[in-house]
Structure 1
Amino acid sequence: MENTSFTIVQLNVEYKNKHNNINAVKNILAESAEIGDITLLPEMFSTGYIFDSAEEIHSLSEDFNNSVTINQLTQMAKTYETMFVAGIAEKDGSQYYNSVAVVDENGLRYKYRKISQNRIDKQYFSRGENILIFEHKGLKMGIAICFDIWFPELMRKYNDVDVILHPSNFGGHHSFAIAQARALESGQHILTCNRVGQDITKEFTATYCGESRVYNPKGEEVMRLNDTQSSQTIMISDLSLAPQYNGIKLPEEINEICRILT
């Protein structure tokens, strides 16, 4: 396996301003001493997440076959020789999704639609139906969006991947404890890219805490950002099996336990 580097961009998302959010990513990368093989952006990085009405976010959602945001990410991918994993609100016909686009210098490679739904997602979006696994530079990657990480039933579908890429919009810290638990129970790297800033609606103001983190397959925290807009790059080179599963074929054991309990 090649060593693979990941840049986490913890963006201060400007509410409903795609142009400024895309330019903010450009500026962060232009000022970065190092940019990884994969650049991870937050959930719905170009628009914000909570709105006064479904119509607001639907008007900002993009057809991925003709997307200004994806076109801009494609140009940045060419410039910096990176692959973006970015949360973008998607329009597909009459349906809308909280999605992640995987974009390289050739454009859109893959997409994932958030499967779990909290009360906010249910107001705006249809539910995704399929997980996404792809390979890049010798690593097998899986995608989870924010609340997805809370559901072991969903995350176990990724039991044979090396790295979970996790764009998020967290306001509190409980979800980091869940991400750490997922890393420990699965023996995988979990890379959570959170955001900072606020979404201000008539009902309430949502404030996002930042502190993006990386957990290794032992469940150890190996990187943490602060609570401001920032970025950091980490190299992943050690895919040795987590010690808690030494001598155990984890998928086989999970299947056997499920067989017994059903």
Structure 2
Amino acid sequence: MKISDKIENNLLKIANFLEQAKVEEVDLVCFPEMALTGYNIQLLKSIDLNDVILPALDKISQLASKYSVCCIIGHPYREGEELKNRASVIFPDGRCEKYDKLHPTELEKKIFSEGKGTLVFEYKHKRFGIAICRDQNFYNIFKEYKDRGCDGVFILAAHYYSPKEARWKIDKNRSIPITRAVENGYYVFLANATGAHLNMISLGHSLIVDGSGCIVCEADEAGEYLLTAEI
């Protein structure tokens, strides 16, 4: 999806995708990294950040319950003095689990703190792991998820670069999820941002790949889509 620096715009778009998921009988939806807020620097530095984030997550939880859809949302969260790049797994019954990005980029380290551990969650008799963007570079994360019996791993991403760098990194950011799937014999779901944001651009190519390395479905570099697969 295209990410705005205005939380109300992103929340509306997330709500529309969840409604579409209900219509298409999708059980679980994953959104991109920081999908709820984008990289709104003023908001990220605000000491009142959680006063904005928590009501928005509550609205998403209500929609998850209404549509009986589990969803994974990327957003920032402040824990004491630390700012986390977080993925929240919101279940239809109101439960919520969290994963914080383990390996922020050098630029992100100026504002974000590293996460403390991995996350495995169960839904509809399946087990899944989570990684965020640059975490995909670290094989040990995905090997741990294999050892813990996961059926698939969701990668939330926002591959924002300068236009030229975005172009030449497309192949890299497509090939790593495919490699992780083949290495571990499970599904990998890449949910990437698309479009311009803060003078950078992300060229999409969200995809779903199975454990044999077959790309089940893939988005183009500019559109917004709900990609689906049956497991």
Question: Radius of gyration: which is bigger?
Answer: 1
What letter is aligned with 1:128? G
Which of 202, 217, 232 is matched with 2:227 structurally?
232
CA drift at 1:83: 0.6
Count matched residues.
218
What letter is aligned with 1:91? R
What letter is aligned with 1:218? S
8 Å Cα contact 2:100/2:116 also seen in 1: yes
Runs (4+) of structure 1 exceeding 2 A deviation are 27-33, 58-64, 105-108
Bigger relative contact order, structure 1 or 2, given CA contacts below 8 A and separation 6+? 1
Change (3 A) 1:61 1:192: farther
Corresponding residue for residue 213 of structure 2? 219
8 Å Cα contact 1:34/1:233 also seen in 2: no
8 Å Cα contact 1:35/1:80 also seen in 2: no
Range with bigger deviation, 206-215 or 163-172: 163-172
Within the alignment, does 1:34 sit opposite 2:24 as a pair?
A: yes
1:25-58: CA deviation from partner (whole Å, max 9, x where unpaired): 2223435541411111110001213x6x5x5423
8 Å Cα contact 2:18/2:69 also seen in 1: no
8 Å Cα contact 2:65/2:94 also seen in 1: no
Change (3 A) 1:136 1:60: farther
2:77 and 2:187 map into 1 onto residues whose CA distance is: 27
User: What TM-score does the superposition give when structure 1 sets the normalisation length?
Assistant: 0.77
What letter is aligned with 1:184? V
Q: Give the RMSD, CA atoms, in angstroms.
A: 2.1
2:156 and 2:140 map into 1 onto residues whose CA distance is: 19
What letter is aligned with 1:231? L
Corresponding residue for residue 88 of structure 2? 101
1:152-174: CA deviation from partner (whole Å, max 9, x where unpaired): 12222212311101111124421
Within 5 Å, give how 1:222-261 maps onto structure 2.
Answer: 222-226=216-220, 227-236=222-231
1:61 and 1:44 map into 2 onto residues whose CA distance is: 17
Corresponding residue for residue 12 of structure 1? 2
SS of 2:226's equivalent? strand
SS of 1:67's equivalent? helix
Mark the runs of 5 or more structure 1 residues left unpaired by the alignment.
1-10, 237-262
2:103 and 2:137 map into 1 onto residues whose CA distance is: 9
User: What TM-score does the superposition give when structure 2 sets the normalisation length?
Assistant: 0.87
What letter is aligned with 1:27? N
Within 5 Å, give how 1:46-195 maps onto structure 2.
Answer: 46-49=36-39, 56-59=43-46, 62-63=49-50, 67-159=54-146, 160-171=149-160, 172-173=169-170, 174-195=172-193
Between the aligned residues of both structures, percent identity stands at: 25
1:89 and 1:108 map into 2 onto residues whose CA distance is: 19
What letter is aligned with 2:197? D
1:184 and 1:60 map into 2 onto residues whose CA distance is: 43
1:108 and 1:85 map into 2 onto residues whose CA distance is: 12
Mark the runs of 5 or more structure 2 residues left unpaired by the alignment.
161-168
Corresponding residue for residue 164 of structure 2? none
8 Å Cα contact 1:83/1:102 also seen in 2: yes
2:36 and 2:59 map into 1 onto residues whose CA distance is: 11
8 Å Cα contact 2:174/2:205 also seen in 1: no
